[in-house]
Amino acid sequence: MGQVESYHRFPDTQGHPRVAVDLVIYTLARRALRCLLVQVKEGPFAGKWAFPGGLVGGEESLDQAAEREVYERTGARNGYLEQLYTFGKPERDPATRVVSVSYLALVPHHGIQLNPASKYADIRWCRAAALPGLAYDHDQVGRLALKRIRSKLQYTNIVYSLLPAEFTLGELQEVYETILHRPLDRRNFRKKILALGLLQRLRKKRRGTHRPAALYAFIRRRPMVIEML
């Protein structure tokens, strides 16, 4: 799919709103939840950081535009994607009238290749808990996305999108503790997770400096509503 340019590069001369998507893309790296930021290249917010996004193509659905943006910025496909909220205040972008549909996306960190292309001046992962002041209304978008992922982690299995195909129970627990920002009892966590029937134990172990740890995989890597915690 071809790249659709960033919406702030096109002043609106007709007064009609443009439709765009903005993506809060999360990953886990170096024991922290991180989200992808891009540096605005042109317009009234030039030099500021923001979430990646762009106009919806004439032949695209909103979901297709969001999926394209995730792929173009990270190279990731088939990650978790969820529509968050629609932002449409007339003053949200001084350059043009834009109605933006925000999305939450989750991608595993392994294999990601960041690409700002020509749309942005720079691109980088930032700690989700310590973002700089963002352009447009993206501070509000970021707060909403962080609240949503912490909530959904407790009653869905979307954590699979942040993990590799094989993982230990310790690594799974670390994902929950990192995002929820609180410790979990090791015995209770493992007992609850294994009782849900979501995981299969593999016939191999991860060996390192400590005792070999059993490896697990999700039986189904698709969103499910289930009481995780």
Give residue limits of the domains in the chain. Answer: 7-138, 158-218
CATH code reported for the domain at 158-218? 1.10.10.10
Q: Which pLDDT value is given to residue 88?
A: 85
Q: How far apart are CA 54 and CA 128, in angstroms?
A: 21
Fold type of domain 7-138: Nucleoside Triphosphate Pyrophosphohydrolase (3.90.79)
Report yes or no: 123 and 39 within 8 Å, Cβ to Cβ.
Answer: yes
Q: Which pLDDT value is given to residue 150?
A: 94
**pLDDT tens, per residue, the chain with 229 residues:** 444 455 544 444 456 788 999 999 999 998 899 999 999 998 889 999 999 999 999 999 999 999 999 999 999 998 899 999 999 888 888 778 889 999 999 999 988 999 998 999 999 999 999 999 999 999 999 999 999 999 999 999 999 999 999 999 999 999 999 999 999 999 999 999 999 999 999 998 887 667 789 999 999 999 999 888 7
Of residues 114, 116, 143, the one with CA closest to residue 128:
143
Q: Which pLDDT value is given to residue 94?
A: 78
What value, to the nearest 5°, has the Cα angle with vertex 143 and ends 140 and 144?
85
Tell me which residue has tokens 């390192």. 208
Q: How far apart are CA 151 and CA 48, in angstroms?
A: 29
Of residues 47, 73, 51, the one with CA closest to residue 7:
51
Q: Which pLDDT value is given to residue 3?
A: 45
As a whole number of angstroms, the longest Cα–Cα distance in the chain is 67
Q: How far apart are CA 195 and CA 2, in angstroms?
A: 45
Here the tokens at position 17 are: 């709103």
Q: Which pLDDT value is given to residue 156?
A: 94
Q: Which pLDDT value is given to residue 134?
A: 97
